[in-house]
Amino acid sequence: MAHFVRAPDHLRTEPLMDDEFAARLAKVDEIRARGDDPYPVKFDRSHTLHEVREQWDKIVEAGASTDDVVRIAGRVLLKRAQGRLTFAKVRDGTGELQLFVSQGELGKDEFARFGEEIERGDWVGVEGKVMKTKLGELSVNVSSFQLLSKALRPLPEKWHGLSDTDTRYRQRYVDLIANDDARRVFDIRFAAISAMRRFLSERGYVEVETPELHSISGGATAKPFTTHHNALDVDLSLRIAPELYLKRLIVGGYDRVFEFARVFRNEGLSTRHNPEFTMLELYEAFADYYDMMRLIEEMIADAAVQATGSTTVEWDGAEIDLSPPFERRTMIDLIKEHAGVDVHPSQPVEELRAVCDSLGVPWEKAWGPGKLVLEIYEKTTESKIEAPTFVCDYPREVSPLARVHRDDPTLTERFELIVHGRELANAFSELNDPVDQLRRFEAQASLKRLGDDEAHDIDFDYVRALEYGLPPTGGLGLGVDRLVMVLAGVTSIREVILFPHMRPEAEKS
C-alpha cells in the first residue's frame, strides 16, 4: 500500500477514500511493483501539440499516414476504447490532439497496458507517426507510450464540466482543466496584459517596481491592510496604490514609467471588488490629462484587438464599442444631462445640500461643495453612462493629487473613464506644486481627524520630492481586472482573478 501525508480532513476526498480514488492509488502500487515509475522525472518532447497541428494538419490527407515520428505529451481528456483500438484526446499548454492507439501498432501486451494504465486525467507521453483518421482527424499513431503522472482524483463530468462556483474558485486548477470558458477568460487576460506591456514599451515607457510595503498609505482613498516589521519594530501597510512612488521616479528623471501593481484594499468583497487586485499605473513627463486620454483609448483598443480580435465587445447585455476616440464630457455637464440640475463646486454648501435633498442623495455635514457635487454625480449619473466616456474635471476637494484646472480653481484636471456605468480608469494632470500639495494633504489630514478613515495621511517625503521639482506630468491608473471583465464579457471580478479571495475552507467536525 502506498502511503501519503494525511491532509486535513476537510481537504480530503469525501468519503475519505472513495472507490475510484482507491483504485487509482492501487494502480500506482502495481506500476511501482512492476518496476516502473508512475511519476517519472522527465519526458523529451519533439513537438508541442500546436506545432504538430501547424506542421501536418494541412498536408496530411484523411486516411493517410506519414513516416514522420513525433514525441508529444499531454493530459488525457477523453478516452474512447473500442476493442483493439482506442482513441484518446490529449491536451498540452498549446492545444489538443488525438492519439490513435491500436493493438496492431503497439502489440498485444503494450496495448493492454495502455488500456489499464492510462486513464482519463493522467498525463502521458507518446511516440508515433503523424496520421489522419478516415474522418480526417489529425492524430498520432502511438508506437510507444509512458505514463508521466498518475491522477488520483477523477476529472469532472466531460460534457458539463465543473459548475459549482465554490469549487471552481477554490480549485481553479480543476476549473481550468474542465471548463474551456475559464481558460478563454484567462487567455484574454494574459493577452491583454502583454499587449499593454508591448504598447507602453513601444512608446518608450520603462516598467518599474516600487514597494508594496508602505509606511504611509497613500495614492488613493481606501482602508489598508496593516502589518508589522519586526526587525525595525514599525507598523506598515500593504499599498493601496503605487502612485506616490511612481511620481518620485519622474522626479528622479525617468520620463515615462509604468507598473502593473498588485494593490490591497481592506474592504468588502463583491462582483466588482477583490481585496487584492491589479492596477496599471503609468506616468509621463511633459504630458497632461488630454495626452492620457489619447494614450488610454489607443491602448485599450489595441489590447481589445490583441486579446479578442475586435474592438466591439458584448458586456452585461450591452454592445460596447471600444474604438477611439471615446466621448469627452465634463462631470458638471453629465450631471445636468442625467439629473437635470446645475451644480458646481463654486456654489455655497447650503445650495448643494438642498440639491441633494431634492434628488434624495444623502449628505454629511463634514462635506464641502466638491464632495457634495461628487456625491450627486455618483448617485445620479455614473451608472447611466453607457459608451466609453472620459468624465472630466473633478472637484478639487476630492482630488488631492490632481493639478488645479487651468481654467477653474475649484476643479482639477482629472478624468475617470466610465464604461457601462463602471469606473475603469482614473487620470490627472499631476499636481506638481509642492506648496499646494502640502495644503491638500493638510486638508485631508483634517478630514481624517473628523473621522474619515479613508482620507490621506500626509506624506512629507513625497512633498520633499516635489520640492526638488516634478515636471509637468500626466498620470493614469487603470483597473486591469475590470478591463479584462469587459473584454471577456464577464460580470464578476472572480471570473478574471485566478485565485480570488475566499473564506478559508471550514474544518469538518
Partner RNA sequence: GGGCCGCUGGCGCAAUUGGCAGCGCGACGGACUUUUAAUCCGCAGGUUCCGGGUUCGAGUCCCGGGCGGCCCA
End-to-end CA distance of the chain: 28
Q: 140-159: which residues touch RNA (CB under 7 A)?
A: 153-154, 156-159
Q: Which cell goes with 385?
A: 453612462
Task: Supply the minimum distance, in Å, between the C-beta of residue 170 and RNA.
Answer: 8
Cα 437 to Cα 402: distance, rounded to the nearest angstrom: 9
Closest to RNA by CB, 102 or 444: 102
Q: Which stretch binds RNA (CB under 7 A): 100-108, 142-150, 276-284, 403-411?
A: 100-108
Task: Find the binder of RNA among 37, 166, 207, 327 (CB under 7 A).
Answer: 166
Residue 210 in the binding site for RNA (CB under 7 A):
no
- Closest CB 58 distance from RNA, rounded Å: 17
Name which position in 11, 112, 366, 502 contacts RNA (CB under 7 A).
502
Q: Does 492 bind RNA (CB under 7 A)?
A: yes
Residue closer to RNA by CB (options 29, 166) is 166
**CA atoms of 357 and 352, how far apart (whole Å):** 9
Give the residue ranges of DSSP H helices in 171-209. Answer: 172-178, 180-202
Closest CA to 262 of 285, 297, 287, 238: 238
Q: Can you tell me which of 1, 19, 33, 407 binds RNA, judged by CB under 7 A?
A: 19
- Among the residue ranges 50-58, 268-276, 461-469, 476-484, the one whose residues contact RNA (CB under 7 A): 268-276
- In the complex with RNA, the residue whose CB is nearer, 16 or 59, is 16
Cα-Cα-Cα-Cα torsion 159, 163, 168, 169, nearest 10 degrees, comes to: 150
Q: By rule CB under 7 A, what string of x and - marks binding of each residue 412-451 to RNA?
A: ----------------------------------------
Does residue 187 come out as left (phi exceeding 0), alpha (psi in the -120 to 50 range) or beta? alpha
Q: Is the peptide bond before 369 cis (omega within 30 degrees of 0)?
A: no
Under the binding rule (CB under 7 A), the answer on residue 271 touching RNA is yes
Q: Among residues 272 and 329, whose Cβ is nearest to RNA? A: 272
Give me the least distance between CB of 312 and RNA, in Å please: 22
Least distance to RNA from the beta carbon of 252, Å?
A: 40
Instruction: Please give the Cα distance from 223 to 207 (Å, whole number).
Output: 27
- Reduce the DSSP state of residue 278 to 3 states and report it: strand
* Options 9-17, 255-263, 326-334, 451-459: segment touching RNA (CB under 7 A): 9-17
- Quickly count: other Cβ atoms within 10 Å of residue 422's Cβ: 18
User: DSSP secondary-structure letter at 471?
Assistant: P
State yes or no: residue 85 binds RNA (CB under 7 A): yes
Do the bridges between strand 256-264 and strand 206-207 make them parallel or antiparallel, or are there none, so unpaired?
parallel
Find the largest Cα–Cα distance for the chain.
91
- Cα 120 to Cα 130, 272, 381, 464: the distances in Å are 22, 36, 53, 62
Which element (helix H / strand E) includes 435?
Answer: helix 434-449
Q: Does 112 bind RNA (CB under 7 A)?
A: no
| CB-nearer residue toward RNA: 92 or 119 | 119
- Residue 380 binds RNA (CB under 7 A): no
- Cα(318)–Cα(320) distance, rounded to whole angstroms? 6
Check binding of 489 to RNA (CB under 7 A).
no
Asked whether the beta carbons of 110 and 166 are under 8 A apart, the reply is no
**Which residues form the interface with RNA (CB under 7 A)?**
13-15, 18-20, 23, 63, 78-85, 87, 89, 98, 100, 102-104, 119-120, 133-137, 139, 153-154, 156-167, 169, 268-271, 491-492, 494, 500, 502-503, 506, 509
